Amino acid sequence: MCMKTSPAAQGPPLLRARSLSRWYGSGADRFHALTDVSLDIHRGESVAVVGKSGSGKSTLMHLLALLDAPDQGSLLLEGADVATLDRRRLDAARNQRFGFVFQQFFLNPAQSVLENVVLPLTIAGVARPERHRRGMAVLEQLGMADKARNRATALSGGQKQRVVIARALVGEPDLIFADEPTGNLDSATGTVVEDELFALHRERGITLVVVTHDEDLAARCRRQVHVHDGRIVSDRLGDAA
C-alpha cells in the first residue's frame, strides 16, 4: 500500500474503522463486498474513496456513515464504538454529525424546496421558526433563496443538487459524505457543484468524503483511497495536498 502521512493525521481521528468486513447472501451465493478494511478519517480532511463499480467503495461509505453495520470489525466515532449505541442514539449521531449528498437527489416532490432542506431539522425536533431561519440561511448561501417556495420538481439538475447540499449543511455537520455527487449532471454543472462542495470544505473546515469513480474529481481531494475487490489497495496524498 502506498501511504503518505497527512498533516491532518496528528490528532485523534473523527472516524476510525478497524478490520471492517461486509458480505451479502449466504452459502454459495455469499458475496464479500468489503474485506478487512481499516481506515482513519481526520477532522478537516478531504478524502476521495475511488474505485470502479462493484469495488466496494459505496459499501465502505455506508458503513462509515452509519447507514449500515459491518459483519465484522469496529467503527469508532471520536473514540466511541458505535456498536454500543442503541438505535435512537445511532440515528441522532448520524443526523447531527453527518450530511449527505447523493447522486440520486432523494427530494420529496410534494414538498417545497425549503421543506426538503430542513428535513433533518424536522426529524431532530427543531422548532419551526429555527428551522425556517437556518433553512433560508443555507439557501441564501447557495444562491437558492428565491426558490424556497418552489416545488423540487420545478428545478434543474444543478439546482436540485444545490438543494441537496443545502440539506446536508442545514444541520451544521462535522462531515459531509458525497456519493457520486455529480453523476447525474452535465460536465459544466458538475464542475459548479464540485466548486461549491470544496469551497464549503475550505471555508467551514467541514470534513469531506467523496465516493467516486471519477479520477478528476478524486484529484481535487487532498487524499485518495483506492478500493478494489473490497480492499483498500492505495491510500495516499494527492497533488491537491
Q: Is the pLDDT of residue 12 over 80?
A: yes
- Return the pLDDT at 188: 87
CA-closest candidate to residue 37, choices 26, 22, 51: 22
Asked whether the beta carbons of 175 and 208 are under 8 A apart, the reply is yes
Q: Is the pLDDT of residue 239 over 80?
A: no
- Return the pLDDT at 141: 86
Residue type, 105: F
CA distances from 121 to 72, 73, 99, 126, 137 (A): 32, 31, 12, 5, 14
CA-closest candidate to residue 102, choices 155, 147, 53, 167: 167
Which residue is it, cell 461549491? Answer: 196
The string of pLDDT tens digits covering residues 149-199 is 999 888 998 899 889 999 999 988 999 999 988 888 888 888 888 888 898
The string of pLDDT tens digits covering residues 93-131 is 888 899 999 878 889 988 999 999 999 999 889 999 999
- Return the pLDDT at 26: 81
Residue type, 222: R
> Pairing between strand 46-50 and 98-102?
unpaired
- Look at residue 104 and give its three-state secondary structure: coil
Cβ atoms < 10 Å from Cβ of 158: 18
The string of pLDDT tens digits covering residues 13-71 is 999 999 999 999 887 788 889 999 999 999 999 999 999 988 999 999 999 999 999 99
- Return the pLDDT at 1: 41
Q: Which three cell numbers stand for residue 69?
A: 453495520
- Return the pLDDT at 64: 96
CA distances from 56 to 31, 53, 116, 153, 225 (A): 11, 8, 30, 32, 12
- Return the pLDDT at 240: 63
DSSP H/E element including 100:
strand 98-102
Q: Is the pLDDT of residue 11 over 80?
A: no
- Structural domains in the chain, sorted by start: 10-237 (3.40.50.300)
- Return the pLDDT at 192: 86
More confident residue, 207 or 143: 207
Distance CA 64, CA 17 (A): 7
Q: In the 8-state DSSP scheme, what is residue 51?
A: -
Residue type, 104: Q
CA distances from 227 to 49, 60, 235 (A): 7, 9, 9
